[in-house]
Structure 1
């Protein structure tokens, strides 16, 4: 299984009482799938999972499993431990789990490999590695990612290294077979696709979903003229949406568009400023 195309890591909208707004979440899921997304991600960092109760997390996955089942769309669910990954067997619609490289401890590449060996063995669904070194503190070389790709039940990587570095170029110059390399750095998705990435997991694609889907499709088809034009349009939008901690500006934009009932985020996040919200809306 090689995951390709556009995946949208969905926010968790809240209503005026602070509860999860399940109706708005269902509408968002259908909106992005209608817009050309291949699938959605539940309980990624954009979804604020650490601020949700266990019951809230289950409600979110219950809902998105139903929607994705009805739409025959892939559903990826965030799970960073063997215990949480094993629980995904409850939802047969789950296609894969997105699991971050262990943060803060900086266990080294051998430690990361051992961690994902154990996680992949425990998980009832394939594992996508989330590599975001400026958050985790753990760098991974192209060689380390190739070693991860060789593990049973590890099927890809969300690659978000803050730009296009030498290891990114090395990895995409000789990508592992049957291993999805999905960009996770929204503002840099166009050059990553140009180098051969299979798609992207892009929070910005809540907005202008069809244009992001077209961007992925154009690079995949080798239509550089169309892809470059779309990339020039979408990079400033992504930059504006990430001007403050994600998903604060994104939620403010979606609320201003009438797509979610409030722009509320949960602590430790603070609501986006009016200036950042206005700047992002001007890019939509």
Structure 2
């Protein structure tokens, strides 16, 4: 299944009793797809997978996979590769080995050894992993059989030409998604697209269609919104906004995260309201 457009890396909503609000998760997944998202990511960083038990991780994937099958959209799953080996899951999201900084040759060898029955989307985020990759190394990774894409969150925009057919480059640094799309990215994996989903989808469509004027009109306000949603550790502000909108039962996160401050949530809600009013959207 081809990867393109905007993927929403789903938050994990919690109920008042602290358990996962699976019904809210399913509703949220359907809402973002209704609003133009092309696919879903379960148990990415935004989903707080490190604070979930194995049983909770499996429950999250079950809900996301049900929605993906129902809507016929791709689903990428992080946390554990075994969770991707089930019906309804398109690929596993696999992080470039963090902390050890194995070098580019080590990263390539790691993913050559990791590929198997489950297609892989590599998550390249050097400000978290400590491992930089050159364009040459990325092209080597893209050529590995079974590697179908990369979430590219480097904090920079580089033109990556000559990538093989069937390999999707997905921008993963939310405020930079417009220039990434302009540079040829196939789409993005964006926590910010939990809100103003339609506008992020329209942005991807505008760059794909060559409508530069429309893309520029959308890109600036969405970058401002993304910065507001990342004013505190992800996904705390996103959860605060979703709760304020009545879309999830609580804004709760699990340690080591703490809930976002009211000031950050209020600022993000204000920007969202202004953007939706300007664009004539309802959510």
Alignment TM-score > 0.5, same fold: yes
Q: Is it true that 1:228 corresponds to 2:216 in the alignment?
A: yes
Query: What is the match of residue 93 of structure 1?
Result: 88
TM-score, normalised relative to structure 1: 0.93
Q: How does 1:127-276 map to 2 (within 5 A)?
A: 127-164=120-157, 168-169=158-159, 171=160, 173-276=161-264
SS in 1 for 2:76: strand
Task: Please tell me whether the aligned partners of residues 2 and 156 of structure 1 are also in contact (alpha carbons under 8 angstroms).
Answer: no
**Deviation at residue 85 of structure 1 after TM alignment:** 1.7
Query: What is the match of residue 53 of structure 2?
Result: 53
Number of equivalent positions: 272
CA distance in structure 2 between the aligned counterparts of 1:65 and 1:183, rounded to whole angstroms: 23
Task: Please tell me whether the aligned partners of residues 94 and 125 of structure 1 are also in contact (alpha carbons under 8 angstroms).
Answer: no
CA distance in structure 2 between the aligned counterparts of 1:177 and 1:76, rounded to whole angstroms: 19
Task: Please tell me whether the aligned partners of residues 244 and 276 of structure 1 are also in contact (alpha carbons under 8 angstroms).
Answer: yes
CA distance in structure 2 between the aligned counterparts of 1:93 and 1:215, rounded to whole angstroms: 27
CA distance in structure 1 between the aligned counterparts of 2:83 and 2:214, rounded to whole angstroms: 42
CA distance in structure 1 between the aligned counterparts of 2:22 and 2:78, rounded to whole angstroms: 18
Task: Please tell me whether the aligned partners of residues 9 and 202 of structure 1 are also in contact (alpha carbons under 8 angstroms).
Answer: yes
Q: Unaligned 5+ residue runs, structure 2?
A: 273-283
TM-score, normalised relative to structure 2: 0.94
Q: Unaligned 5+ residue runs, structure 1?
A: none
Task: Please tell me whether the aligned partners of residues 84 and 91 of structure 2 are also in contact (alpha carbons under 8 angstroms).
Answer: no
**Deviation at residue 274 of structure 1 after TM alignment:** 1.1
Question: Once the two structures are superposed, what CA deviation does each residue of 1:40-69 show, in whole Å capped at 9, x if it has no partner?
Answer: 000000000000000000000111111111
Question: Once the two structures are superposed, what CA deviation does each residue of 1:173-217 show, in whole Å capped at 9, x if it has no partner?
Answer: 433332101000000000010011000000000000000000001
SS in 2 for 1:263: coil
